[in-house]
Structure 1
Amino acid sequence: MCGAPEQTAQLPPGTDLSKETVLIGRVVNGSEPVGGAFVRLLDGTGEFTAEVVSSATGDFRFFAGPGNWTVRALSRSGNGETSVTAEGPGLHRAEVAVG
């Protein structure tokens, strides 16, 4: 069983976006959400940093640091990736298209 928190669009209580960098998004195939995808966070050098499983609605969330990130999704529908630049604390959104 995965120890990652449930992946929802809502942030956990007590999250302070003035201090924390949060990468949040969805995995989609066309306009349909992709649940159960393995979503990986890679740092600016391509090194694996973290992995979560997308929720039934395709949502994922990472608490990260400022920098350049790659979010990669692996699913039965296909694979995809996108780049995210988090220049500082706050909420940074990404959508990963697979297919």
Structure 2
Amino acid sequence: MSKHVIETVIFKLNEGVSREEFAEAAQAMSSFVTAQPGFIARRLSCGENGEWIEHIEWADMNAAKAAASKIGSVESNRPFLSAINGPTVTMRHTELEVAIN
């Protein structure tokens, strides 16, 4: 049995994009994310320095990769994606070892 995969994306927003605007765009993109096969949970947070961290839990690596391959082709995801400062993005996929809810 494969372990769940945590997708962690760290980034900053483009100049002029407000925290509130981005949160709305992130919420609008939730219908895409939650509809993807293997989706388990999503959390998005922002630090005082303006750095955002998104964690998405997937059933396995195949689910994470399949969702990533489709994200840019969905029109309703564009406000979210275009608000992100591309050069600041780092993304990792890790296997979940311990979870406490």
Q: Which has the larger radius of gyration?
A: 2
Tell me the TM-score range normalised by the shorter chain: 0.3 to 0.5
Q: Which has the higher helix share?
A: 2
* TM-score, normalization by structure 2: 0.35
Q: Which has the higher strand share?
A: 1
* TM-score, normalization by structure 1: 0.35
More RCO (CA 8 Å, sep 6+): 2
